[in-house]
Structure 1
Amino acid sequence: MRVLVFSEGFGARTLTFVYNEVKALSEFCDVHVLCTEKGDAELLQYDKVTEIKWQPNRIVRRLKWELWKRDLVLDEKNSAFSKKLNELIDSFKPDVIHCHFGFEALKVTDNFTRNDIPIIVTFHGYDATEFDNKESYKRKLKATFDRPNIFPMFVSDYIRQRVARLTVNTEKGFLLYLGIDLDRFKRRNFPDKSNGVQFIQISSFAGQKGHVYTVEAIRRFFDKYPDSNARFVFGGGGAVELDVVRAQVKKLNLENKIHFTGKINPEEVRQWLEQSHYFIHPSVVGPKGETEGLPTAIMEAMAMELPILSTYHAGIPELVQPGINGLLVNEKDIDAYVAKFVEIQEWSYCPQNRTRVFEMCEIKSHTRQLISVYQKVIHLTLGVNKA
């Protein structure tokens, strides 16, 4: 089976879940990746990648932006991109095209209008939640998914429900949780707590990751428990929020309590998780209404048997069962978060968390299910074109 995967920034550190899916899928299928900009060269250990730059005419781009800003029209047609896209498709002859993120996928669906090749579009988070007040986005998605060969996919049931609010026919779609490599994320050591406990959050510093609320909760925690030997680690980099969070930490005199790792690669992620006792991820609705889908960072931490402290946000409760896999609090409830900092320290490592992830998110099972979906949409598209 030949699969063309579209991911705008393939290889970016914030899109490792796409890279991991491609690598796993390539063991069974001929997978070619299309992107508009290649990501981190250190992570991009995959050869079958074509980069087609997205370079619309400046005047046309400005006009389209004004129409989008005024919520009149959303149009991603681009003749130069369309020509190269169709040449790639004619050359590679994919059996199925798989696009990641609903908004970005329009670059493909607006510029490849044939109905003989099935197209799957995976919604991950912001693409299902940030623009639900944009009528032009709803109209565009409805028209796109009304095409018989285009099918939505959702990384959590919460995202499925949000996509339905965008007037997309979700009945023709598929729910498939993202997959992680349990062989990579496997605990080898179990650090004791004699020298203190370590909480860690690994993510980008986007607004919906909730770092500013974590920092305020840490301040209140140490105000209440000044003799605590707890340590806090923020792993990851990128996004403008990083500078905001660093400034907040400095202002609150928490620089000796919170450590920033900077950018870390997948192996360093595993190492930091292995050195830690608890994983925190206080996701919140972002400033533009954007949400998570189901953070892969939580899946990886659970695979490493860490108890999870997170929020009732998006698809997180579909994975984290309060009292079994960890603890959940309401978004932005800082006092509750402080209380859970204390409560969760009574927990030890959680082998049941690894079992939970194995059942829902194991990469080999994910890949088998994904191939099964491909086979279904190929059959459905073939039937439509024969009719």
Structure 2
Amino acid sequence: MPPVPVHPPADLSAFRAALLDWYDAHGRTLAWRASPGAASPEPYRVWLSEVMLQQTTTPHATPYFHSFTVRWPTVSDLAAAGDSDVMAAWAGLGYYARARNLLACARAVARDHGGVFPDTEAGLLALPGVGAYTAAAVAAIAFGRAANVVDGNVERVMSRLFAVETPLPAAKPELKRLAATLVAGDRPGDWAQALMDLGATVCRPGRPTCERCPLTRWCAGFRTGAPERYPLKTKKTERPHRTGTAWVLRDAAGRVALVRRPDKGLLGGMTGLPTSDWSVDAAVASPPVAADWQDAGAIEHVFTHFSLTLSVQTATGTGDFLWTHADEALVSLPTVFSKALERALAS
């Protein structure tokens, strides 16, 4: 097996030209992206897309991006929006702390920067909720800074290009260092997006389509004959399982009782069904009001750090809740609650 290179290709200019030429011909057309070589896109759109794409696929994030940019076309418009409106619009994208950080960042840009995003990586990093990856992505794509933009796709490309034997996640610093050796001042935004597109469409998880790759002449993983072996991964520990109860209370008009969850914690600040605690040893919990509760079955849901079984109980009654028509609740609730409500309505 060839040794791991610790430096960029000797013919770095040819290497970069090969990938940028490929990107010019094969780059993805995305709602938030300017065409290769075109003027940089609006920083607000780049930032919004990058936040939405964290832990979310491009097809799933795209309609949300369209909805947000129509409803709140500038960062100042978003900053002026109500918390509940933004959280409801975010429902279904998951990882709801992102929505809270989105609002905090938008309000900081509007309040402290006159509605204009800082144009440096350091300035972007100082904004609430903006981490190293997002700061680098916005700096490179929106402002043309020579920033090192490394997401999961880029990590996979680096691990194969340099045949990195360190397994993930321990390899992350090494992969970021290797990616930095390839960054230059020429077309930094296109470079970042070219690497991401290569990882998403050619250097894919599982078996890459190396016959379509413009970088095989430089790829140590390709030379091994088994590029799919990379990136190596540490064996994952088993995901914990939790249980709980969701109560679906409906009134005489068929509306559903909802509650606002605490600002901190999982699904913080979101509207949801009343539930018990989701603990490993969930005991029988007290329902939110006295009623003739009936068993409607159970639903399964998987979060990042644990899986969940929620038993669903239904009843008719009244109380001090946020009452919402069922069809509206189904499209606005986080996925776990939509599943529970669907189960209740089908029972």
- TM-score, with structure 2 as normaliser: 0.26
- TM-score, with structure 1 as normaliser: 0.24
Larger Rg over CA atoms: 2
